[in-house]
Amino acid sequence: MVERQQRRKRAPRESQEDIRARNLAKWVPKTALGKKVLAGEITSMDEILKANLPVLESEIVDSLLPLEEKMIEFRKTTRVVRAGRKFSFRVTVLVGNKNGFVGLGTAKDKEKWPAVKKATRKAKLNLVKVRTGCGSWECICGTGHSVPFKVEGKNASVRVSFLPAPKGTGLVAGDAIKDVLAFAGIKDVWTKVKGATDTRLNFAKAAIDALSKTTKMKVSDAIEKKGAKEQ
């Protein structure tokens, strides 16, 4: 009886880090960027983004960033053809390191887990750099706990605005985008939304679009005039 119970015991489930290490051990780069990363010539994602190099292999991201993954949407879709109905699964996966990088990916497949793998790969290839800061006039801590300034994003009919909040405020946002903010490393923020926010995917995409604008700073007219006078 004891032998039977021992046989029935399942092998311990692999963690994401173990799976990541196993995949990297088998990785054979196909692009010039992948070969540089494997050789140690490039050691961070910031170098890739500054050089504006295209990332075509998800293993590049795996080797440079420890990312967390979460499936935020799972739906069964139907397509009507002459032979009848064809069913497939649509999966949306969110990835991030909770320290300035976040990505979103959506994929379809006839089976669930292949769709999850495809969506995860797309999310890693769509990584966005997020700049954090302390842009609230009520807070002078100087740490990167919120957005540095007001940013707006849109997708379809959804409009999202993120406003800097003082430390301790928390994520004043809907459940659909709280995960996006947390995976990006933002702890305090106020939000304003418009449109059909019940569409979870569009809501998340609008949040990603807004966060991507934190790295795009505009020079004010006063600074431009000052520079013109100095010249």
Could you report the per-residue pLDDT of 124-149, keeping only the tens digit for each?
A: 999 999 999 888 888 878 788 999 99
Kindly give, in sequence order, each residue whose CB lies less than 8 Å from that of residue 178, ignoring residues fewer than 6 positions away. Answer: 171
CA dist., res. 7 & res. 183, Å (int): 40
CA dist., res. 10 & res. 7, Å (int): 8
Give pLDDT, residue 4.
Answer: 55
Give pLDDT, residue 223.
Answer: 39
Per the structure block, which two tokens stand in for 94?
């969110």
H or E stretch at 23: helix 16-25
Of 29, 122, 18, 26, the residue nearest 71 (C-alpha):
122
Q: What residue spans in the chain does CATH classification 3.30.230.10 cover?
A: 151-215
Which single residue is written with the structure tokens 């497939």?
88
Per the structure block, which two tokens stand in for 118?
């495809």
Looking at per-residue pLDDT, the higher value among 39 and 19 belongs to: 39
* C-alpha 169, offset from chain centre: 23
| From the candidate CATH numbers 3.20.20.210, 3.40.140.10, 3.30.230.10, 3.40.50.720, the one assigned to the domain spanning 151-215 | 3.30.230.10
Q: What is the pTM of this model?
A: 0.81
